[in-house]
Amino acid sequence: MKRGACILIAFMAVVLTGCTVGPKYRRPSVPAASADAYKEIDGWKTAQPSDQLQRGPWWKIFGDSQLNALEDQLTASNQDVKVAQARFQEARALVRFNRASLYPTISTAPGIASIRDSGNQPYLPATHNTGDFVLPFDLSYELDVWGKLRRTVAASREEAQATAAELETVSLSLHAELAFDYFELRSADAQKQLLDDTVKAYQDSLELTINRFDGGAAPKSDVAQARTQLQTTMVQDTDVGVQRAQFEHAIAVLVGKPPAAFKLPPSPLHAQPPDISAGLPSQLLERRPDIAAAERRVAEANEQIGIARAAFFPTVILSATGGFQGDSITNWLTWPSRFWAVGPSALETLFDAGRRRATSQAALANYDATVAGYRENTLTALQQVEDNLAALRILEQEARQQQDATASAQESLQIFTDRYIGGADPYLQVLTAQTIALQNERNDVDILRRRMDASVLLVKALGGGWNASQLPQIASFR
């Protein structure tokens, strides 16, 4: 027994002093994120403190209570979020599964048997009956001499962190999609309101031409032109309903409801885009959950290199068995019936036709691929921020220009209408002015829609107020 204890102590010392083969992890460099400022930030209005992105409910910066309520419903009921949450819980469970390999496995297989020897077996005493009562306990423990098990646990933890970041990525994408669809729907409401008002104005114009025709002051062609203008606008007014219905159905699915059970009352878009702080390019690495997930996958791939290299070294297993064995119930659990055995064993592959080398090369190639993916994700994120900064800056200027153009078009329409009533101009001038005025008014609504959409996309590109410090810490995976 003392000898067995000495063997156990000696090999436990080996475990405590065991090395870890494979490279240490260092986060890959991303030179493109070292710029002092975004290229498109020039001329961008600096956000006030009240406009900073909030952690979690970032959509509140838009100041729309209906949008806030819908976003909360999405958080609670969206099925894609539930899928991502379940994947994260699965990853957490796999951490616990792999951690179990750091501890011994203990099993038992008690048995009771009545044995009768064959009367015809050669070279043995006469036939007799015996009993076999066994209560064994087996212990098997793989000594983590080369760090394979520790790296496996670390890899599963990093996978769980990546899955947690992917959960945040899914949540951010869905919340942004909801906000995007919401502003598209409200823009459709604004277009509908504009076209409704225009149809009423064109009905008045048609009545005017009919009265002038009846009075002999205008030809019948003016009536036909006015009626055509009215009917064309009514078609446009009706067509807006198709787009609005589609966005309403999309929002219903996002908040976890069937489209038939969901309805949003009309409310034309009047909000203005909030001022959003873009921060620094270098901060984007910490603010985007998809970048954090890619970086954790690089760390996981680094662990896989060490696991592959550990396969070149012997696997050392400490085995022990002990228990009681007797030939009857009366002497089964007595001290003389005890038995035990303990000792290490080593398993080394002498020839595998290059399998381990191929596995190691594959791990290295996978690491290179994840590093490239991480850098590509970062470049894409930087592009998305730059795109939407440029869109917001340019669209703000375009909105001011369009407002001036709309005012001029409305003034022109009033002038030509007055001249037509006075008999100075043909009705064609009024039709042309009406068409130009309506197009400019619709452009006003459309530019506001694009500005709101770009604001949502900028928030998404900036990570929605998320930060890498919100990733579950390694110590939390127990």
What averages of pLDDT result for each successive group of 10 residues across the chain (478 residues)?
51 56 90 73 59 73 95 95 95 93 92 76 65 90 92 94 95 97 97 97 94 90 94 96 97 96 95 87 89 95 95 93 89 89 91 94 96 94 94 95 97 94 90 95 97 96 90 76
Q: Is the CB of residue 63 less than 8 Å from the CB of residue 271? A: yes
Please indicate, yes or no, if residue 422 is contained in any of the structural domains: yes
pTM for this prediction: 0.87
In the three-class reduction of DSSP (H, G, I as helix; E, B as strand; rest coil), residue 466 is classed as: coil
Q: Are 91 and 163 in contact (CB under 8 A)?
A: yes
In this structure, what token pair is assigned to residue 123? Answer: 């070279």
CATH number assigned to the domain comprising residue 469 = 1.20.1600.10
With respect to residue 218, please indicate whether it lies within any of the assigned structural domains.
yes
Is 139 inside any structural domain? no
Indicate the DSSP class of residue 19: -
Q: What is the distance between the alpha carbons of residues 148 and 141, in angstroms, rounded to a whole number?
A: 14
pLDDT number for residue 99: 92
pLDDT for the residue numbered 32: 65
- Token code pair at residue 165: 């970041």
Beta-ladder partners of 344: 318
Tokens matching residue 351: 């020839």
Q: What pLDDT is stored for residue 304 in this prediction?
A: 95
User: Which is nearest to 315 in space by CA: 116, 47, 158, 101?
Assistant: 101
pLDDT given at position 51: 46
The answer to whether position 42 is within a domain reads yes
List the structure tokens of 204: 């008045």
Q: What is the DSSP string of 256-316?
A: T--GGG-----------PPP-----GGGHHHH-HHHHHHHHHHHHHHHHHHHHHHTTS-EE
Of 110, 238, 194, whose CA–CA distance to 410 is shortest? 194
Residue 189 lies in domain: 21-104+147-313+354-476
C-alpha span between 50 and 53 (Å, rounded): 9
Tell me how long the chain is: 478
Is residue 227 a part of any domain in this protein?
yes
Taking the CA atoms of residue 284, residue 290, residue 291 and residue 294 in that order, the dihedral angle to the nearest 10 degrees is 180
Rounded distance between C-alpha atoms, residue 266 and residue 185, angstroms:
9
Closest C-alpha to 208, from 177, 187, 185, 229: 229
The pLDDT assigned to 275 comes to 87
Is 112 a domain residue? no
CA distance linking residue 79 with residue 86, whole number of Å? 11
Domain count along the chain: 1
Bridge partners for 106 per DSSP: 139
For residue 468, being part of any structural domain is answered with yes
Asked if residue 425 is part of any domain, the answer here is yes
pLDDT of residue 19: 75
Q: Please report which helix (H) or strand (E) contains residue 386, including its range.
A: helix 355-421
